[in-house]
Amino acid sequence: MSTLNIWAVLVAAIAGHLIGAVWYSPMLFSNAWMDSLGKREDDFKKVNMGVLLSTTFVFMLIMAFCLAMFLNSPEIGMTEGAFYGFLTGFGWIFFVIATNSMFEQRPFKYTLISGAHWTVVFTVMGLILGYWK
């Protein structure tokens, strides 16, 4: 714990949050994601965005901290961090989403969009955490 770079954890969490903002924006996948859920933009206007964004940022901080604990070794650099982040995002998170989606009978498009999002997030967080010791 004493060798953990808390600033790297914070930056990794911010990066993950920003990736999500772009990923689920109209520039990328918001329309396809909403379509896969059978939702429209109006359905999200009831959501308190301040509470949603602040709560999900805390979640992102927790995820970045946990990944940092796994990567907290001097032998792990940027490349290894990105690789282990990818394995976390794809090998665990993607397939957790895929498993849940199958039982929830969600379309595969939802699985691809959400699973790929978390794969990218964890890869970038791993890169940051591996690089910035």
Per-residue confidence of the chain (133 residues) as pLDDT tens digits? 778 999 999 999 999 999 999 999 999 999 999 999 999 999 988 899 999 999 999 999 999 999 999 999 999 999 999 999 999 999 999 999 999 999 999 999 999 999 999 999 999 999 999 999 8
How much is the pLDDT for 63?
A: 98
How much is the pLDDT for 111?
A: 98
Tell me how far CA of residue 129 lies from CA of 39, 89, 94, in angstroms: 35, 15, 20
CA 81/CA 73 separation, integer angstroms: 10
CA 68/CA 60 separation, integer angstroms: 12
N- to C-terminal Cα distance for the chain?
Answer: 12
How much is the pLDDT for 11?
A: 98
What type of residue is 16?
Answer: G
